[in-house]
Amino acid sequence: MKKETIAMLLAGGDGSRLNILARQRAKPAIPFGALYRIIDFTMSNIAQSRVDVVGVLTQYKPLSLMEHIDNGRPWDLFGRTRLVEILPPKTGEEIFDWYRGTSDAVYQNLGFINDFSPQLVLVVSGDHIYHMDYNTLIAFHGEKKAEVTICLIRVPLKDAHHFGSGEVNNEGKIINWIEKPKAPTSNLASMGIYVFNKDLLAKTLTTVSRKGGVDFARDIIPAMLNKNRVFGFEFKGYWRDVGTIDAYWNANMDMLRRNSGLTIKEWNIKTNLHAKGEVGDRPSAYVSRGADISHSFIARGCVIEGKIRNSVISPGVRIHKNTVVSDSIIFHGSEIGADSVVQKCIIDKYVTLGRSVTMGSGNSIPNQKFPHHLQTDITVIGKAANIRAHVRIGKNCIVNPGTTVSEDCESGTTI
């Protein structure tokens, strides 16, 4: 089956800066916006762009991700000429047991690419929130007679050191490229989206990999830059790298903010509603007469008896009477007892909060164990944790999955 363009979707990241949210799942499999997972955005972009062969490169904690993607049917990537194939590391072989980096993952699957004899290979990441028609990118690639095209987006110069940074000339050709520069001179940041001419990609991957190179931004792009036509495509829509807890929280809140640019309904994002623990056949949400909801998203299967402000509530959540939830994200199946206060928290699946629990209050102290992960007053509760009645938990706290908490916790604590 020959294809003009195929996609290789990088979905193996461990999401270490997301701390316990990525402890038991791959980063792209983290729930987002009540109904979705992070990978749904890239999968939907691929499907809507009519790229109908996708290799999904998994590695870290892949089970929930594999269950979610299933056979690609939720995105209509299933049939005689459409295909989604999960490509985990070939463990047990003599060469390498694990993917050592982004380019190494694609290098180890050149056989999959060659099976379809494509002219172009679209390489995308599964851990960003955005909406893009890749056909516009591919058309730009053709118009410029490019051999490589890199998607770039303008970020504040102070943040550019987190990304690969490119400088372009008037033609759009990249004339300088630095991976995560200490003192960036350009605010054009790489989005981790590339279009490659297949033959050049295969040749460069083979050459660079033999020299120990494993990463697209650090190894492959510099090797191509001076010898080949490498162009930058500037993207001007909404895009957010949700690689930190603060960025993840803000992206969810963007769903509720006017004019944020994140408009999931208009983007027509698809998801697997019937994967284990998702929406499935849940009934409509029940909102009691005494409930008070404003500026929030409430999913199916919820029972709401309290007050909800500026929050994203996933399927099957129960919030009891006289409870106030604000500026928070609550995953599937969690329950918050009566007379509780939850402020600026991310609560993972199947968490139980007893009666009269207070969360997210107190002094603003960075997390003592992970100060770079939690310093913006967000408290994160791990999957299936149990917070006993009358417990108070401060700001920037972490409660590990499955933990039972029966005593108060000061701000900045990890339990």
pLDDT value at position 348?
Answer: 98
Distances (CA, A) of 370 to 15, 94, 197, 210, 351: 14, 37, 42, 37, 22
pLDDT value at position 226?
Answer: 85
Whether residues 27 and 90 share a domain: the answer is yes
Residue 265: partners with Cβ closer than 8 Å, 6 or more residues away: none
* CATH code, domain carrying 327: 2.160.10.10
pLDDT value at position 225?
Answer: 92
Q: Which residue has the tokens 């193996």?
A: 12
Edge-first strand listing for the sheet containing 335-336: 286-287, 303-304, 318-319, 335-336, 352-353, 386-387, 404-405
**398 pairs with which residues across the strands?**
380, 414
Amino acid 401 reads P
Q: Cβ(90)–Cβ(112) under 8 Å?
A: no
User: Residue 306 is part of which domain span?
Assistant: 286-405
Whether residues 184 and 74 share a domain: the answer is yes
Q: What is the pTM of this model?
A: 0.94
Alpha-carbon 396 to chain mean position: 21
* CATH code, domain carrying 71: 3.90.550.10
Counting as low any pLDDT under 50, the low residues of the chain are 95
Whether residues 224 and 369 share a domain: the answer is no
Instruction: Name the token pair of 169.
Output: 């000339």
Last-in-domain residue among 234, 267, 300: 267
Amino acid 141 reads H
**341 pairs with which residues across the strands?**
324, 358
